[in-house]
Amino acid sequence: MAPKINSLAILVMSTILINIITFGSANFNKEVDVTWGDGRAKILNNGDLLTLSLDKTSGSGFQSKDEYMFAKIDTQLKLVPGNSAGTVTAYFLSSQGPTHDEIDFEFLGNLSGEPYILHTNVYAQGKGNREQQFYLWFDPTADFHTYSILWNPQRIIFSVDGTPIREFKNLESRGVPYPKNQPMRIYSSLWNADDWATRGGLIKTDWSKAPFTASYRNYKADACIILNSNSCTGKNISWFNQELDATSQAKLKWARNHFMIYNYCADSNRFPQGFPTECTIM
């Protein structure tokens, strides 16, 4: 049964409308490099649209041309429609190496008629295990929706159509690692993960439905770009100190109360000796 939407939904839906109207455009030819897929990733419409495809032989992916040290990243995605069980569309910031930092959106495919699961995670200095998962309050395959990552020195905010769903604060003073020293690129991929993605791997990919395709548009990186000393000057960088105001906090509470389906900070079976430090503070 779909979660009930309370009165705050009116405010959320108005934010979606404003977001769609004001969202700026970007050219994928200038912003990203296709990195794998042997032709399964395509940049179309003079750079306005990018598609990733997956078949039984291979998936596909791309990465941003630039590396960022703090950023506000917005991308509009339309996910694989129909029976997408076993597939994962990943969209994330990441550095490289064994002690890498990473900020994840992953969209776990479903059987037709069942909701996608939006999986989020934060890695700092190679340590993750901070998973939170959500259903969405719309069909993410029917149209484009905006998925945003705000990463600044104080906090990470995950948002969907302008509605925050997760905040991860910098709690280094309390001994919690925070990603702030390693530059990261945006990566995205569409790949087969039917060993775990849908019902823990019980539902396998139906290759008769292939190729599976996800679409992207309006990639926007408001960011401090490594190797460009002027990238954070001469423009609006209010995001660098952005935090959640009262309205945004209300939206966050609404999304988490109605659509969160897993929170590592509530999984006592996983942490029998006590929850991670950030769980008792955030």
Could you report the per-residue pLDDT of 213-246, keeping only the tens digit for each? 999 999 999 999 887 656 675 456 889 999 999 9
Provide the CATH number for the domain around residue 135.
Answer: 2.60.120.200
Q: Give the chain's mean pLDDT.
A: 89
* Interval 148-187: pLDDT, tens: 999 999 999 999 999 999 999 999 999 999 999 999 999 9
% of residues, the chain, pLDDT over 90:
80
pLDDT above 60 (res 61): yes
Q: Give me the number of domains the chain comprises.
A: 1
Rounded-to-integer distance, Cα 87 and Cα 111, Å = 10
CA atoms within 13 A on the CB side of 86: 19
Segment 249-267, tens digit of pLDDT = 999 999 999 999 999 999 9
Residue 233 falls within a domain, yes or no?
yes
- pTM reported for the whole predicted model: 0.89
Taking only the tens place, the pLDDT of each residue in 186-211 is 999 999 998 887 878 888 999 999 99
Q: Are 103 and 156 in contact (CB under 8 A)?
A: yes
What domain range includes position 134? 8-280
The rounded distance, in Å, linking the Cα atoms of 259 and 118 is 10
Long-range contacts of 175-180 (CB under 8 A, 24+ apart): 175/277, 176/124, 176/276, 176/277, 176/278, 177/124, 177/125, 177/127, 178/124, 179/95, 179/101, 179/102, 179/103, 179/122, 179/123, 179/124, 179/125, 179/151, 180/70, 180/153
The answer to whether residue 3 sits within a structural domain is no
pLDDT at 19: 36
User: Is 14 a member of any domain?
Assistant: yes
Active site residues: 102, 106
Residue 2, domain member (yes or no): no
